[in-house]
Structure 1
Amino acid sequence: MLAARLVPFGLRALGDCPDGDATITLIGPDEPAFWPIFTASPEFRDGAADPMDRWSQRVISEVAQELGAEALFPFGGPPYAPFFTWAKASGRFWASPIRFLVHDDAGLFVSFRGAIRWTKPAQLSTGGIPCTSCHQPCATACPVGAFTDGYDVATCKAHVASAAGTDCRMRGCRARRACPVGQGTRLPAQAAFHMEAFL
């Protein structure tokens, strides 16, 4: 039911988290289908700020209303909804070697566009973290060692903004791209959009 409703928007359910008598279902891009759908939207084309957040709020609110659910978003705070906590409680996300969340299917390029809280039973995963059987190329892929001791945001941002950082800026973070899980699903144009927002 939810899966079919999300397909036209290039979205998919990423995992469930119990929330009292309800369930929170996390929603993110179904890549690579997501990007051409989003870029055809009025929010992307109107030139106003935060097009992806505005698009996400519109489409996920629409889906939630049809299902009698509550729409939730990782933006618009403070306060901010605890998406990181919900993700880890789903059994489908873990802290990666570079400390970013890694998803069992989307890898390190996983992102949240929203969630819904509804009354269907939670479907929790019992699978294991993919990083335990991986040679963990993400840990050494950063050209400026921004993940050597935590995450050095300033070093990362300076590199991405420089001429030497063109590859990261135009194709996405090298450490994220190194993850074997979900590799090659994010289109370069989408990665560049997010890197521009990061800068």
Structure 2
Amino acid sequence: MTGTGDKAALSLPAVVAALEREGLRLCGGFTPDDADDVPIVARGRRARSLLLVGNAGPAMWRRFQAAMPAGPDPLDHWTRAVVTEIARRYDATPVFVFDTPPRPFQRWAVKAGGCHFSPLGLLIHPRFGLWHALRAALLFDRDLGVRPSPTSPSPCEDCRDKPCLATCPAHAFRVGGYDVPACVRHLETTGGEDCMSGGCRARRACPVGAEHLYGPAQAAFHMQAFRTAISAFSRTPAQTTRNVFPDNDS
């Protein structure tokens, strides 16, 4: 993480460059309105610009591995430290996907443009496929000129076979639903070792953005976090959810 120092001159390119130095990326943005459930920024002002912060492929993982803070939830800890420093430097208010109360990050990402819901409930990106994640948002009390990206068709619309739904060894996914207990049971058996070490098999079946697939260490890290996050659901009835993949979207 870059060391603290004086505040920097604010511009959109400067913020983007600061994110990229940490392996993060600008995932779009927009001017919030009352329907977006965006918190008030510092000094009680309304946010006039919202920038989504995330990652794609292995770039963030390399920076995170170099730091690897001790203790529980190391990725959340690293994300908070890095993004909070960037927010301080550019006089922004940070909001994180792991904060409570939860904020509608997926809805913000869809409004920002470029992402669509996939059959798995994850957001799919036309370039990165399912191998991206939202981490935070930066709120500014001034207009930075960022606008939603032009809408484009979802890559899932032309995907007839839907291999993401057909590949899950636990048959946990279906259109509009996700069987949490079935997924947990599978991951806790020897049959789930492939998913735990290489990443969700259903997710890997998607052909979009396959070149951005997470490496083994990153995949295993996220799958351990995923299994921990969904274990609380293992004794409840099957559920429909869009909020169980901690390394994609809130």
- Provide TM-score, normalisation by structure 1: 0.90
Cα drift, residue 50 of structure 1: 0.8
Could you say which residue in structure 1 is the equivalent of 2:202?
Answer: 175
Moved more, 9-18 or 103-112: 103-112
Q: Equivalent residue of 2:174, what SS?
A: coil
Mark the runs of 5 or more structure 2 residues left unpaired by the alignment: 1-12, 34-46, 228-250
Query: CA 1:169–1:184 in structure 2 vs 1: closer, same or farther (change >3 Å)?
Result: farther
Among 158, 164, 167, the residue aligned to 1:141: 167
Give me the whole-angstrom Cα distance separating, in 2, the residues matched to 1:164 and 1:68: 49
1:59 equivalenced with 2:60 (yes/no): no
Q: Looking at CA atoms only, which structure, 1 or 2, has the larger radius of gyration?
A: 2
Give me the whole-angstrom Cα distance separating, in 1, the residues matched to 2:135 and 2:29: 15
Give me the whole-angstrom Cα distance separating, in 2, the residues matched to 1:30 and 1:11: 8
Q: Equivalent residue of 1:19, what SS?
A: coil
Check whether the contact 1:15–1:25 (CA below 8 A) recurs between aligned residues: yes
1:123 equivalenced with 2:147 (yes/no): yes
Could you say which residue in structure 1 is the equivalent of 2:42?
Answer: none
Give me the whole-angstrom Cα distance separating, in 2, the residues matched to 1:158 and 1:49: 24
Q: 1:26 is aligned with what amino acid?
A: L
Give me the whole-angstrom Cα distance separating, in 2, the residues matched to 1:123 and 1:176: 30
Give me the whole-angstrom Cα distance separating, in 2, the residues matched to 1:161 and 1:105: 32
Cα drift, residue 45 of structure 1: 4.2
Question: What percent of counterpart residues are identical?
Answer: 39
Query: CA 1:123–1:29 in structure 2 vs 1: closer, same or farther (change >3 Å)?
Result: same
Q: Equivalent residue of 1:54, what SS?
A: helix
1:73 equivalenced with 2:96 (yes/no): yes
Among 151, 155, 172, the residue aligned to 2:182: 155
Cα drift, residue 100 of structure 1: 2.1
Give the CA RMSD over aligned residues.
Answer: 1.7
Q: 1:78-128 deviations in whole A, cap 9, x for unaligned? A: x11211211121122211122222123222232111111123123312222
Check whether the contact 1:161–1:169 (CA below 8 A) recurs between aligned residues: no
Matches within 5 A, 1:8-157: 8-20=21-33, 22-41=48-67, 44-46=68-70, 48-77=71-100, 79-118=101-140, 119-126=143-150, 127-135=152-160, 136-148=162-174, 150-157=177-184
Give me the whole-angstrom Cα distance separating, in 1, the residues matched to 2:79 and 2:62: 14
Q: 1:138-187 deviations in whole A, cap 9, x for unaligned? A: 12121111102601111112112210011100011111112222214211
After TM superposition, what 4+ stretches of structure 1 lie above 6 angstroms from structure 2?
Answer: none
Give me the whole-angstrom Cα distance separating, in 2, the residues matched to 1:139 and 1:175: 7
